[in-house]
Structure 1
């Protein structure tokens, strides 16, 4: 049984994979693994349906854009024959051309939001954002580009839970999709725009866009960048080599060609950027920031940070006032 069996369509002759449609402008799906079974929940058109079944792992495509968010635990995901792992607070946004499937680890809970091209065509003009989420959607929703295979991955921007408002928006969206009250559709549209805007907030999420129809080299550089960002700069060349199954020297050369930085230099710049964000946007103690960014000691972090910025961590914090003392949308 599929988590989307209610609206599954036969696959077109041009693709060997099932093609799934929700037949609704906006749909929410939840999958939660408990032992050998998975609890499926579907919310759309004011209705909520739940059932328990085997974990559906067949490769498939969607007629809609699919936003996947891991709410708890970890899952493995196959996107166009590439394997990925996503953990709590991470996810991806797929265009309809991406063949994919996922497998949940025990205790994992995942949320899927399906956005129809028709809905996005209506909503996107309401935003003048040029950020990665809206740019991705505006490009891919155009008919001239509907043959392209691309997706966007997002990870937590900081090793710090500052996404409370993001989850409030998710909860509100679920409630509005589950209701048929007057005006619910307008609330849904506003909440979708808020959700996408939240994903573009660099203090909450880091996004990496990948176009699979580009060269292998461009794809690998995107993967290297995503790994470095996802580890907040605390990752070695050896680990990247093991993750991507390519020689580290080769990956280092590709990154240097496209960004002007080696893996080590790029990782260092990301680590410093994360430290600056934590110093400016949180009240965490210096020792805790050092721990969260993988430094062996507060002293080592102190010298590392001062060498790069010419300011001690406390001096940097005092110089730059906290930019966003409260979260709001």
Structure 2
């Protein structure tokens, strides 16, 4: 996997697929899929290279900062209707998982269940793979209906992965918000994990007879390595509740529909929950107060208007509901370290 995502030729689409809209929920669209993201925050255009691989399609695209599909512009956490395994290939990546900000260095992995709200940050250079693993596929690989032929193949029995997958089965809500971090053991490298993801890319881009079985074999190799305590320190984590996650989703909908210009009391009226309780939930999921979360959404909308329209700064300020232009300038400069005019000039 090179800095251009991989060694294989992946076609560019005629237009960026709908997948990269600002969504909070991603359904299962394919049996298995692999997304490669390479972020360059230090480049002037803050571009992100996206490669999407599945049995049905393969494409790659470079999204500049001004592209509305660039995942940099996602303002909310999201979740999937599948398990997701992320693998940091190069650099280091910050990811928000529910109420905490985590740092994942090169070589680390994280397995998230279907209910975890999360989002990667694009504040540092990284190249990362995101592997979508539907429940039915994991069951076929780890818990086949027919026994394995050889001893030692049933390595999953009694392991952390078996407990994690079974606890998070389709109808089991007992452990609804779980994920597992796999951090490389000190002074240890695992080139085999890198090779496994190389083989996944090759199989997606150059399929042939038997590629379905080859994909499943590669996934077994990945899971086997993850359970090797000489290679990875395993940290299982259980947090939060579905109820609070649903409330946070509602808060985010109201926030985005008003460009973040909604007060705590207005949110309380719209959701029928106490404002202080709502503030605690927002703090838990974003690390910000309701005001801070709203401001971040509002300033991102201001950036979009600065880049994509010819509106004056005064008009943008007014459109976003500011009666005091100085206050708008102050919030923007605090958020981005430059005035709106300077931001437009550099975008």
Q: In which range does the TM-score fall when normalised by the shorter chain?
A: 0.5 to 0.7
**2:223: which partner in 1?**
196
Structure 2 runs not aligned, ≥5 long? 1-15, 64-69, 145-153, 242-286, 288-347
Assess if the C-alpha contact under 8 Å between 1:46 and 1:178 holds in 2.
no
Provide the rounded CA distance (Å) in 2 between the counterparts of 1:147 and 1:51: 37
CA 1:108–1:169 in structure 2 vs 1: closer, same or farther (change >3 Å)? same
Q: 1:92-111 alignment to 2 at 5 Å? A: 92-111=110-129
Structure 1 runs not aligned, ≥5 long? 11-16, 215-244, 246-329
Cα deviation, residue 164, structure 1:
1.3
- Local SS of the residue matching 1:121: helix
Assess if the C-alpha contact under 8 Å between 1:8 and 1:22 holds in 2.
no
Provide the rounded CA distance (Å) in 2 between the counterparts of 1:207 and 1:56: 32
Provide the rounded CA distance (Å) in 2 between the counterparts of 1:102 and 1:136: 22
**2:32: which partner in 1?**
26
Cα deviation, residue 81, structure 1:
2.2
**2:87: which partner in 1?**
69
Provide the rounded CA distance (Å) in 2 between the counterparts of 1:68 and 1:146: 24
Assess if the C-alpha contact under 8 Å between 1:8 and 1:21 holds in 2.
no
Q: What stretches of structure 1 move > 6 A for 4+ residues in a row?
A: none
Deviations 1:270-316 (A, max 9, x none): xxxxxxxxxxxxxxxxxxxxxxxxxxxxxxxxxxxxxxxxxxxxxxx
Equivalent pairs, count: 205
- Local SS of the residue matching 1:144: coil
Cα deviation, residue 5, structure 1:
4.8
Provide the rounded CA distance (Å) in 2 between the counterparts of 1:198 and 1:29: 21
- Local SS of the residue matching 2:121: strand
Aligned with 2:169 (options 127, 141, 144): 141
Cα deviation, residue 152, structure 1:
0.5
CA 1:146–1:194 in structure 2 vs 1: closer, same or farther (change >3 Å)? farther
Cα deviation, residue 29, structure 1:
0.5
Cα deviation, residue 160, structure 1:
2.7
Q: 1:157-306 alignment to 2 at 5 Å? A: 157-161=185-189, 163-213=190-240
**2:59: which partner in 1?**
49
Provide the rounded CA distance (Å) in 2 between the counterparts of 1:185 and 1:171: 16
Deviations 1:157-209 (A, max 9, x none): 12232x01221122112211233311111111111111111111111111110
Provide the rounded CA distance (Å) in 2 between the counterparts of 1:139 and 1:176: 31
- Local SS of the residue matching 1:67: strand
Cα deviation, residue 121, structure 1:
2.1
Deviations 1:77-108 (A, max 9, x none): 11112111111011311001001101134431
Cα deviation, residue 142, structure 1:
4.3
Provide the rounded CA distance (Å) in 1 between the counterparts of 2:155 and 2:53: 29
**1:272: which partner in 2?**
none
Cα deviation, residue 128, structure 1:
4.7
CA 1:202–1:147 in structure 2 vs 1: closer, same or farther (change >3 Å)? closer
Provide the rounded CA distance (Å) in 1 between the counterparts of 2:174 and 2:81: 11
Provide the rounded CA distance (Å) in 1 between the counterparts of 2:141 and 2:174: 18
**2:100: which partner in 1?**
82
Provide the rounded CA distance (Å) in 2 between the counterparts of 1:207 and 1:147: 18
- Local SS of the residue matching 2:161: helix
Assess if the C-alpha contact under 8 Å between 1:79 and 1:99 holds in 2.
yes
CA RMSD in angstroms, aligned pairs only:
2.5
Cα deviation, residue 75, structure 1:
1.4
Cα deviation, residue 56, structure 1:
4.7
